[in-house]
């Protein structure tokens, strides 16, 4: 899978998961979900998929992605004014993103396009 395709698939996956969780259950605006998804996709792709995954395992990369997703969602949610249940929303969103990331990593490893 070429990098551009991988990045697009990752973005659509993250956007879909965050739209369901953050927009439906925590009343985030679409703009907020879109911004978080773009930022998380770019940072996650660089850190998790291009750096950590080639050097470690899928499980390790997924754990790193969980922490990264939690922090990015929590910080950007708080900055955007979503104070109420920011930790809860970040936790459940990070779990969902991590499940998607685990499957995404499997696809990258299967296509032998993991580049370190």
- The pLDDT score that the predictor gives to residue 84 is 80
The answer as to whether 51 is a domain residue is yes
pTM for the model stands at: 0.90
The answer as to whether 115 is a domain residue is no
The answer as to whether 21 is a domain residue is yes
What integer best gives the mean pLDDT of the chain? 93
Per-residue confidence at 29, pLDDT binned at 50, 70, 90?
Answer: very high
**Long-range contacts made by residues 103-112, C-beta under 8 angstroms, separation at least 24?**
104/6, 104/9, 104/10, 104/13, 104/49, 105/48, 105/49, 105/53, 105/58, 105/61, 105/62, 106/58, 107/1, 107/9, 108/1, 108/6, 108/49, 108/53, 109/53, 109/58, 111/1
Q: How many structural domains compose the chain?
A: 1
pLDDT tens sequence across 90-103: 999 999 999 999 99
The answer as to whether 116 is a domain residue is no
């Amino acid at each position: 899978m070429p990098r551009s395709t991988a990045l697009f698939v990752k973005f659509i996956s993250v956007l879909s998961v965050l739209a369901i969780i953050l927009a439906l259950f925590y009343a985030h605006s679409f703009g907020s979900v879109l911004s978080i998804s773009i930022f998380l996709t770019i940072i996650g792709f660089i850190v998790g998929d291009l750096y950590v995954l080639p050097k470690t395992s899928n499980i390790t990369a997924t754990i790193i992605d969980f922490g990264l997703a939690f922090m990015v969602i929590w910080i950007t949610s708080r900055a955007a004014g979503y104070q109420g249940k920011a930790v809860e929303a970040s936790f459940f969103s990070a779990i969902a993103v991590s499940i998607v990331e685990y499957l995404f990593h499997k696809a990258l490893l299967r296509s032998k396009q993991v580049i370190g």
